[in-house]
Each structure stands twice: as structure tokens, then as C-alpha cells.
Amino acid sequence: MRTRVTDMFGIALPIFAFSHCRDVVAAVSRAGGMGVLGALYFTPEELEQELKWIDDHVDGRPYGVDVVMPASYEGADFAPEELVGRLRSMIPDGHRAFVEDLLAKHGVPPLSADAEAGRVLLGWTDATARPQVEVALRHPIALLANALGPPPADVVDLAHAHGVKVAALASTPRHALKQVEVGVDVVVAQGTEAGGHTGEISTMVLIPQVVDAVDVPVLAAGGIGNGRQMAAGMALGADGVWTGSLWLTVEEADTPEMAKRRILAATSRDTVRSRSWTGKPARLLKNEWTQAWESEDSPGTLPMPLQFMLVSDALRRIGRSDATELATFPAGQIIGVMNQVRPAKDVVYDLLEEFGEAVTRLDRLTND
Amino acid sequence: MRTRVTDMFGIALPIFAFSHCRDVVAAVSRAGGMGVLGALYFTPEELEQELKWIDDHVDGRPYGVDVVMPASYEGADFAPEELVGRLRSMIPDGHRAFVEDLLAKHGVPPLSADAEAGRVLLGWTDATARPQVEVALRHPIALLANALGPPPADVVDLAHAHGVKVAALASTPRHALKQVEVGVDVVVAQGTEAGGHTGEISTMVLIPQVVDAVDVPVLAAGGIGNGRQMAAGMALGADGVWTGSLWLTVEEADTPEMAKRRILAATSRDTVRSRSWTGKPARLLKNEWTQAWESEDSPGTLPMPLQFMLVSDALRRIGRSDATELATFPAGQIIGVMNQVRPAKDVVYDLLEEFGEAVTRLDRLTND
């Protein structure tokens, strides 16, 4: 198959796979697509290790790194050295009490002293993402992606100076235009059905609008889990597809067992767009956590990055407890049809085979 | 083009057009698709007139009628003669006061005595839909569609006895299975981006699930406004497309001028899924009406059919006033790209032409 993105990256298949797991990234790139490692949860040192591992296991195929530099967040004008302290002081006591109450109700124990309680994850700020960019650019990456809006123009220039292409996720045609203005090479147009941070417009409605708005190649994201959906995304005008949730249940994925079981059992109605994770709307597994934040007792969510600072310890405590009813995580609507565990390579080949069948069927309908 | 639905109905194009306007219905059927008249707002006598007009203007081409027989609603077990009175008594005074306050704030005058104040529209009940079915079956219709879930089994049998096929709208694969169990011939799988009553799952995610769940032909609905979207819907496995919002701004449509202007100016973010119209979630134009029902002062919405009984006079008053900021109506996300007024026939031909281009492009990408 040949599109503008297969040409741009020298890949066989226009299939991009976002994953926080290095094994998945390497497996998809080896299978002819493009794995993209989500850097968010890694310190710069950890990211260095992950990328070194990928370099050693990707057989020289291109891969990418995804960072999160949101266009707007609380504390954007604070000095880096005082960022954490000042942000922490902005979290109201009532919010802390709500979280503690919720955990107590579900019998979630505190973290043990050695379980890195209080390690503050600040992924959703420019200040924490830049060191990740520096690490990434020391590796032979082909793509730097930004998950929340247009990346800073100087970061785009820096990537280009390293011969690295830049992608950014857009949920409206207006976002896409802003991204192209700062020099983005590929727009990932992501519909509301996607897991993680996501807008309101569906993939079906969004893709043609973005394709018509920009001259650069567009990847269709949100709701892409099989070859028919890949064909649909490209019928809408995209040059390829960007997938995420699809890789949570592959053999290679280091997704926690509990989460894998929940995904395999879920229907497409078991996700919800919620601010309870990061403060910006993100599609998550719907459960007692997301419902608690919608309840009458809820103090409301805090803006990014305060919400995740507020809840990150709680989410870690839940993950180590038996309170699986509170364990939420980003997940798109396609989890409704993810019912088995397979190697990433098989998922790639199935996408391709079903894509071909869908195109053949369309052809036949048209010529009859 | 040839699919299971073009064969079933003897139509040239698998394009179904839902409209409350008889002119649109006749125009689409004459252009080779299938117009489907929404009967909801008509008394049986009015419906008789509309269908007579269509019979006289459709050049013998097939057309359909869409009624609303919801699977569940308040008062389903009341006797028809006491239905209105008993339902009326179930509307709390606080809700009436909220509506009156809202209208007063926006300076909306009362209806004049001759403006049929108090005409109670009860469309969303089995009791009011059955007389519409009887009228419809006296005409040479090809399709009877039910907009809210599986129609009663005896209505399906009655339609079949008249040689009329039956369709029903589904927003989950489970709904679709129930519909096929009662004998439905065509499932309209409708994604969350659609206008009017709609579920949570997007078209991209929903269509393959429904196609895999049932043996009957599936129409893709929700987000279908151009030929690329038609190709995408059929790449997902559908045998045709079901469109609605697309026809609100065609030349033939009797959509109020104000609503046409709002649609032509809207973006895809200007709709919202809200219970403020009928009590069940429906995608509407987002404005001060929908926001008022989400506000802290809101008493909450009432279950179907009480909500529409509560608000129908208010909506009529708003429609005759200058308070356009309160005037809402069902609209899908595709209104973001509906920017011009054209004859229905041209819209049909453009769908077909762009569908062909999309299929040709997919073919070329695949064979390169």
C-alpha cells in the first residue's frame, strides 16, 4: 500500500500504533507499521532506557515518540523550580478530602513507605515534556508526536533540525490549522470515540473536515480497531490510521492483568468522556471512579495539571488494592470488540487483510 | 450500484433520506434514493394529506414512512381515552414554573388564542403512532420505519401482510438483535453523532458490530453528509446509508428560515446530546435552551413523553418569537459542513459522485 505517509516514513503500511509499552512499539514497527512510544509516564532516565531497548529490537525500522505539551494549563508561567510547590498549594483541601473519603469507602489501603508515595507526575506540562524531547532526539526516531494540541514552534524546528517529522493530535479543523501553522508534518485527526484526551466530534464527521482544511497528510484516529474501520478512515480521505486502545490487549502489552480482563469483557458503552483523570476531557473506562466525580457529592474536577496531581497517588493505591471497581484508565469505544489476546503482528496483518476485503467489497458494489 | 437494499426496494441508489417534509421525500425518491417521511408531527388526517401529495409527486418510485413507537415510556399501560389527562397530572408544578421563568427571562410572549395553544402532541407513544401506521398502510409505501427501538411484533406482521418492509433504528448491537427477533427487515445502525434520538456509540465503532450481529441488511446512520462518509459507512459493512440532517437545508425543505440560517452557520461542535426535548437523549442544536436544562437551576428533565408535553407549547412560543437564542431542534454533527442551499437532487448526485471518487482513491492506494 502506498500513501503520503508510507512515502514520508518509508514504511510498508500506514498503520500507526500508540503504546506506552516498548515491546508493542517495536513489534508494530517490525511488522511494517509505525510504533509510537507514549513518553508521558517516564522520567528522562527511564525514557532513555526504553528508547535504547527499542533501538536494539526494532531491526532498524522507523518508530516514533509521543510527548504531551498541552497548549494551555495552570502554572504555565511558573518557574520550573517552583512549579510543583506552587501547583500543590493550589489544590483545595475539600478535593483532597473527597478523594480520601472515596478510597476509604472502598477499603483502599495507603501506599507503603517504599511504594514511592508522593512521586509527583507532572507529565502534562511543557516543563516536564521538554527533557523528554531532548532524550528522544538523541535516538534515531522518525516521528515526534504531541498529544494535546500544537507543539511549541521551537520544538517543531528542533525536531526538523534532527530530520524528525512532527505530528500532533487535533479534534477540530481549527486545531489542525493551528498545528500546520507551526510546521506540523502530519495531523492526527482524532474523533470523540478515541481513548484518552479527546474532543466532541466523531471520527466520521471530523476526518473529512480536517482533510479539507489542511494540505499535510492526515491520520484517522478514534474508533479504528479493525480493517473495515481502517478502510473507512481512508475512505474519509486520511492517508493512514492512528490506533491506541487496540494494543492494550496484545500479547506483548504490559497492561496490568486486571485492566486487560476489564477490556476483554467490556462493551462499547463502558467508556465515558470524563475530566476525573487529568482535568481535561478524556475517554476512560466507565466505573465507580468516573461516576463518583459526576455524583452530587463531587467537588468538581480541577484544571490540568492539578487534577492528576490530586489523584495520581490515589490511582496508584487503587491499582495495588482489590478495589477494581475504582480502577479506571484511558480506553476508546473499540474496547467493545476487543475480545482476545493476540500477538501485535497478527493484529497488524488482520488489519491489512480486512482492509483489502473491505476495498474489494466496495469495488464490487460500485461496479454491479 | 447494487446492494441488498437496492435489490430489496428496486431503487438505484442505497441512499435513504429521512425528512418531515414531503417535498424532500418525493425529490429523493425521484432521484433514485428512498425518501422516508417522518410522521411524528402529523395527525392521522394531516398524514393522509401528506402521503396523498407524495403519491401524486413521486412518479411511482418507492418511498417510506417513519413512525415513533418507543419500546418504553411513561403511561404505556394507561387506557387511550385517559392517557393525556393522566400524563398531564404527572408533570410537577416546579417544572412548569421553570419553563415559564425561562421564557419570561427571554421575553417570549404567550401564544395568541387562535394559535392552537394546548394542542398536546403525544407522538412518542404507541397509542398515537398506531393510527399513523393505519394511514400509512393505505398508501403504496415500500418501507415502514420505527425510530425508537423494535416496533411491536403485530405491527411488523401487519406491515408484512401489506407487502411493506420494516426498518428500525438501533444504537447498540443488542438493540439490533431484538429488532431482528421481531421480524425487522432492515436495521438502521445509528451513531451518536446523528441528530435526534441517539445513543452513545459512534458510527465508526457501531456499524461493524451491528453488521456482525445480524443477518439482515444494515444502513449506516449518523455523520453521513457527503460521499466520503457514504463510502466509509459502506466500507464498515453497511448496505446503504440513512441520512437526516443533510436534508434540512435543501431547497425543497420547509425548515423554518431561522433554523436554516443557524444550521448553515454552525460548526460540528454546536450540537449536544440532551434530554431537554423529549426526555430521552437526542442530539440538538446547542444553545441557551439546552444549557438552561443543564444549569444549576434546572429541575431536571422528565421521562418520555412527559418532557415534550411540558415543553411543546414553549417551543412553539419560542418559534414565533424573536428569542432565537432559545430555538433548538434536532441536528447532527454534520451540520458543521452544511454551508449552502441546493436542490435535493444535486445533493443525491454529489453523494454518488464523491462516493465513486472515494472508492477509486482507495483502489489506487491499495494497488500501488
Question: Which site among B1, B205, B268, B338 would you substitute to test the A interface, given the most A Cβ atoms closer than 10 Å to its Cβ?
Answer: B205
Alpha-carbon gap, residue A120 to B99, rounded angstroms: 48
Whether residue B94 contacts residue B310, with contact meaning beta carbons closer than 8 Å, is answered with: no
Q: Which three cell numbers stand for residue B67?
A: 413512525
User: What pLDDT digit, counting tens, does each position of B179-237 carry?
Assistant: 999 999 999 999 999 999 999 999 999 999 999 999 999 999 999 999 999 999 999 99
Q: In what order do the strands lie in the sheet with B271-274?
A: B196-197, B282-285, B271-274
Torsion of CA B30, B36, B40, B44, to 10 degrees: 60
CB contact under 8 Å between B365 and A234, yes or no, is: yes
When pLDDT is cut at 50, 70 and 90, the band that residue B123 belongs to is low
User: What pLDDT digit, counting tens, does each position of A107-118 carry?
Assistant: 999 877 655 555
Residue % of chain B over a pLDDT of 90: 79
User: What pLDDT digit, counting tens, does each position of A321-338 carry?
Assistant: 889 899 999 999 999 999
Whether residue B16 contacts residue B219, with contact meaning beta carbons closer than 8 Å, is answered with: yes
Please compute the mean of the pLDDT values over residues B339-355 and round it to a whole number: 97
CB contact under 8 Å between B202 and A202, yes or no, is: yes
Residue A81 has what pLDDT? 79
Given a cut of 80, whether residue A169 has pLDDT beyond it is: yes
Q: Which of A239, A295, A317, A339 is nearest to A98 (CA)?
A: A295
Given a cut of 60, whether residue A238 has pLDDT beyond it is: yes
Please compute the mean of the pLDDT values over residues A218-241 and round it to a whole number: 98
Residue A71 has what pLDDT? 72
Residue A85 has what pLDDT? 86
Given a cut of 80, whether residue B248 has pLDDT beyond it is: yes
User: What pLDDT digit, counting tens, does each position of A67-77 carry?
Assistant: 988 777 778 78
CB contact under 8 Å between A336 and B201, yes or no, is: yes
Given a cut of 90, whether residue B298 has pLDDT beyond it is: yes
Which of B169-180 are b and which e, b meaning 16 or more Cβ less than 10 Å from the residue's Cβ? bbbbbebbebbb
Given a cut of 80, whether residue A53 has pLDDT beyond it is: yes
When pLDDT is cut at 50, 70 and 90, the band that residue A122 belongs to is low
**Reported ipTM:** 0.94
Residue A45 has what pLDDT? 95
Alpha-carbon gap, residue A368 to B293, rounded angstroms: 50
Residues of B in contact with A358 (CB under 8 A): 235-237
CB contact under 8 Å between A201 and B336, yes or no, is: yes
What is the Cα A344 distance to its own chain's centre? Answer: 17
Domain edges within chain A: 4-73+124-254+343-367, 80-121+267-326
Residue % of chain B over a pLDDT of 70: 97
Given a cut of 70, whether residue A319 has pLDDT beyond it is: yes
When pLDDT is cut at 50, 70 and 90, the band that residue B346 belongs to is very high
Q: How far is B114 from chain A (nearest CA, A)?
A: 42
Residue B114 has what pLDDT? 57
**Residue type, position A228, single letter:** R
Phi-psi region of A116 (alpha: psi -120 to 50; beta: other; left: phi over 0): left
Angle between helices A203-213 and B203-213 (to 10 degrees): 130
Nearest to A208 among B209, B226, B363 (CB): B226
**Residue type, position B107, single letter:** G
Residue B117 has what pLDDT? 53
H/E run at residue A52: helix A44-57
Residue A316 has what pLDDT? 87
Nearest to A228 among B2, B199, B236 (CB): B236
Residue B121 has what pLDDT? 59
Q: How far is B236 from chain A (nearest CA, A)?
A: 5
Q: Which three cell numbers stand for residue A291?
A: 461516576
Least confident of A113-122, A167-176, B75-84: A113-122
CB contact under 8 Å between A268 and B172, yes or no, is: yes
User: What pLDDT digit, counting tens, does each position of B134-187 carry?
Assistant: 999 999 999 999 988 889 999 999 999 999 999 999 999 999 999 999 999 999
CATH number of A4-73+124-254+343-367: 3.20.20.70
Please compute the mean of the pLDDT values over residues A349-360 and round it to a whole number: 97
Please compute the mean of the pLDDT values over residues B255-261 and round it to a whole number: 90
Q: Which three cell numbers stand for residue A158?
A: 528542533
| Mean pLDDT estimate for chain B | 93
User: What pLDDT digit, counting tens, does each position of A257-316 carry?
Assistant: 889 999 999 999 999 999 999 999 999 999 999 999 999 899 999 998 899 989 988 998
Nearest to A333 among B202, B267, B366 (CB): B202
What is the Cα B347 distance to its own chain's centre? Answer: 18
Phi-psi region of B116 (alpha: psi -120 to 50; beta: other; left: phi over 0): left
Compute the 3-state secondary structure of chain A and give helix, strand, coil in percent, each to the nearest 5. 45, 15, 40
CB contact under 8 Å between B205 and A236, yes or no, is: no
Please compute the mean of the pLDDT values over residues B352-360 and round it to a whole number: 97
CATH number of B4-73+124-254+338-367: 3.20.20.70
First-residue to last-residue Cα distance in chain B: 25
- The three-point CA angle A213-A218-A222 to 5° equals 110
Given a cut of 70, whether residue B124 has pLDDT beyond it is: no
Residue B68 has what pLDDT? 87
Which neighbouring-strand residues pair with A165?
A: A143
CB contact under 8 Å between B336 and A269, yes or no, is: no
Which of B310-340 are b and which e, b meaning 16 or more Cβ less than 10 Å from the residue's Cβ? bbbbbbbbbbebebbebbbbbbbbbbbbbee
Nearest to B365 among A3, A332, A362 (CB): A3
Residue A284 has what pLDDT? 97
Least confident of A65-79, B82-96, B286-300, B310-324: A65-79
Residues of A in contact with B2 (CB under 8 A): 365, 368
When pLDDT is cut at 50, 70 and 90, the band that residue A41 belongs to is confident
Nearest to B359 among A204, A333, A363 (CB): A363
Alpha-carbon gap, residue A134 to B78, rounded angstroms: 70
> Residue for cell digits 410537577?
B92
More confident residue, A114 or A354: A354
Residues of B in contact with A15 (CB under 8 A): none
Given a cut of 70, whether residue A104 has pLDDT beyond it is: yes
When pLDDT is cut at 50, 70 and 90, the band that residue A22 belongs to is very high
H/E run at residue A210: helix A203-213
Please compute the mean of the pLDDT values over residues A93-116 and round it to a whole number: 87
More confident residue, A155 or A320: A155
CB contact under 8 Å between A223 and B205, yes or no, is: yes
Identify the closest residue of chain B to A199 by CA–CA distance.
B269
Residues of B in contact with A244 (CB under 8 A): none
* DSSP H helical ranges for chain B: 4-9, 22-30, 44-57, 80-88, 93-105, 126-137, 153-161, 173-181, 203-213, 227-235, 257-265, 288-294, 306-319, 344-367
